[in-house]
Amino acid sequence: MKLIASLTSPFARKVRIVLLEKRIDCPLSIDIPWNADSTVAQFNPLGKVPALVFDDGHTLFDSRVIVEYLDNISPVTQLIPKDTRQAMAVKRWEALADGICEAAAHIVLERRRPETQRSDAWIERQQDKIHRGLAALANDLGERSWCNGESYSLADIAVGCCLGYLDFRFEQIDWRASYPNLARLAGKLATRPSFAETVPVA
């Protein structure tokens, strides 16, 4: 199998980190969905990355589906708890982190439109989602060591990718000053090889 991804997508980064944590060897094929020569739509009809392509041509998308599949095929470093209630808690963290990333990506795309076609109201709506989402992440984390309690999980990966994407695209959002507990988590995650190897690059 191979992973179709871009190096700037926080969703693709999440999958890449899971692959590294699970020690699953999977070649990376870089494809930018917005490029004219992109072939992403051949693997995901929605034209989004990441997409996981199997040797028989079948594909999986989106990132939440892919990471759950990867967690189930390897016993190394269980990232989604087997207990249903705990698993739903981890997936809730993932949904919130992904939602912040989606709002941030909407802003990036809106700002690429000609100035006369941009909607300030739309951008402000997405910014509100980001700020509310960050406040919720910080509130839910509290003083815990990891998002889901005392053990590292997919929740931490999703939140780490979210915070990394904000650093990459929105330096003006000083979330570290507002939420020192998120800053502590991000610092801890940055020391993991899987995070260090997947830092977004333009």
In DSSP terms, 60 is beta-bridged to: 52
- The number of CA neighbours under 13 Å toward the Cβ of 167 is 17
The tens place of each residue's pLDDT in the chain, 202 residues long, gives 999 999 999 999 999 999 999 999 999 999 999 999 999 999 999 999 999 999 999 999 999 999 999 999 999 999 999 999 999 999 999 999 999 999 999 999 999 999 999 999 999 999 999 999 999 999 999 999 999 988 999 999 999 999 999 999 999 999 999 999 999 999 999 999 999 999 998 7
Can you spell out the DSSP letters for 139-190?
Answer: HHHTT-SBTTBSS--HHHHHHHHHHHHHHHH-TT--HHHH-HHHHHHHHHHH
Domain boundary among 27, 53, 73: 73
- On whether both 184 and 89 belong to a single domain, the answer is yes
Q: Are 9 and 194 in contact (CB under 8 A)?
A: no
- On whether both 17 and 65 belong to a single domain, the answer is yes
- On whether both 51 and 91 belong to a single domain, the answer is no
CATH code (residue 28): 3.40.30.10
Stated pTM of the model: 0.97
- On whether both 67 and 147 belong to a single domain, the answer is no
